[in-house]
Amino acid sequence: SRFFNFIFAFLLHIIFIREIKKHYSINEDMLVIYSAFSLVILPWYFGVLYSLGEVTSTIIFFYGLLLFQPRRRRSLILLSFSIFFGKLILLFVFVIFYLTYIFLTKEYKNLLSDIFFFFLPLILWISFIAIYYTKGNIFEYIYDFIYFNFINNRSAGIKEAFSYNILDYLLSYKNSEVVNWNLADLLRVLVSPLIFVAIVFLYLSNTLDKFRNLIIPIVVSTTSLFLWFWILSPTKWIRYSQHFLLIQILFIFFLLVQKNAKINRNVILIIISLYFSLFFSSSLLILLFMVTISVIQIFKKQQLPMLFPYLLGIVFFINLVNSYIELDSKTEFTFELETCKETLTSRECYQEYISQ
């Protein structure tokens, strides 16, 4: 059943890629291949196997963003669905995205229509609550929901707003799970979003104005969540980073498979190489990949834009095989807790568990 959760996430990619192909000129096959790799290069990627919701909701949200210009109403429904039936943290990303888009395009006449279609999944969500919530009425549920997810949520950072100063926020990582991360996770969560911004703004110099109005809001919204994560969130749980990391990874993949707006500047491709090298599982693989890109740049400079997408796919496949070998070679630990066989709530079970 866990593997089915991975298959389900991959099928979501395939379904939405078929949809966006109707509106964008892309290499569909390459994007499908890339999307499969996107599920296994994320920090804490195994969350998708447990169907925790971060990855699947973000997949729906990402394709909703791509559909915002060509299919605005459908996009708003998808975005809303991914938020209210997925992960509420994506509401933060949507609000920043939408406000930035409206600011750039001045499409104020669509506000009422946008609100209506965005609220359709929300109305359905509230209807389910009204029917099945048994601990009070709908208003009590909303109060409990806000209190649990915002006011009393350690990760939200709302309680700390009344007691933290600027230095407390900047040093909050010392009391978070960041101190337990390895260097690879730190580079992926802290450095890769900064490289993403550089890549996109270099790409913007060669894009059409209409596409720019979609790209800039995506950059601003995901970067805003990145800043919230590193500055305002006291816990900095790594699974919350998946929302901005996955959107950014998928968006670079989307840029790479463009047919009409191909990335033909080698400097951008080299920076993209550096970006994705942060997600490789082996230092040797990173070195081989960067050396290969450098050799092509020196001797076959004109062919780099054509060869790069395929080379990246090959390296991702090698990375996947290497990750499997590394994981398979690790020592397996089996714990059999005798006192926990009858009940998990006894004091004896707890004592035996923490002593392992």
pLDDT value of residue 52: 66
Per residue in 229-256, pLDDT (tens digit) is 998 888 888 888 999 999 999 999 999 9
Q: Which amino acid is it at 133?
A: Y
Q: What pLDDT was estimated at residue 287?
A: 93
Distance (Å, whole) CA 275 – CA 256:
13
Tokens of 98: 């939408």
The percentage of residues in the chain with a pLDDT greater than 90, rounded to a whole number, is: 50
Residue that wins the pLDDT comparison between 329 and 24: 24
Helix (H, G, I), strand (E, B) or coil at 26: strand
**Three-class HEC string of 152-194:** CCCCCCCHHHHCCCHHHHHCHHHHCHHHHCCHHHHHHHHHHHH
SS3 content of the chain, % helix, strand, coil (to 5): 75, 0, 25
Distance of CA 19 to the CA centre of its chain: 20
Q: Which residues pair with 26 in a beta bridge?
A: 258
- In three-state secondary structure terms, 258 is strand
Reference 58, options 225, 227, 217; nearest CA is 225
Residue pair 56/12 in contact (Cβ under 8 Å)? The answer is yes
What does the chain come to in residues? 356
Distance of CA 67 to the CA centre of its chain: 17
Instruction: Tell me what the mean pLDDT of segment 10-25 comes to.
Output: 94
Has residue 333 got a pLDDT over 60? no
In this predicted structure, what is the pLDDT of residue 191? 96
Burial of 69 (0-12, 13-18, 19+ CB in 10 A): middle
pLDDT digits (tens, 9 = 90+) for 37-86: 998 888 877 667 665 678 899 999 999 999 999 999 999 999 999 999 98
DSSP 9-46: HHHHHHHHHHHHTTTS-B-HHHHHHHHHHHTTSSTTGG
Average of per-residue pLDDT across 97-107: 94
Nearest to 259 by CA among 6, 7, 26: 26
Tell me the C-alpha distance between 269 and 256, whole Å: 9
- 274 pLDDT above the threshold of 90: yes
Q: What is the reported pTM?
A: 0.87
Question: 123 is written with which tokens?
Answer: 């109305």
Mean pLDDT computed over every residue of the chain = 86
Mean pLDDT value across residues 256-270? 83
Under the banding of pLDDT at 50, 70 and 90, the label for residue 91 is: very high
Q: Which residues pair with 258 in a beta bridge?
A: 26
Which two three-digit tokens encode residue 343? 């009940």
pLDDT at 3: 77
Kind and range of the H or E run holding 264? none
Q: Can you tell me the distance from the alpha carbon of 118 to that of 84, in angstroms, rounded to the nearest whole number?
A: 10
Q: Which comes out higher in pLDDT, residue 40 or 336?
A: 40
Half-sphere exposure of 4 (CA within 13 A, CB side): 1
From 305, 204, 211, 229, select the one nearest 262 (Cα to Cα).
305
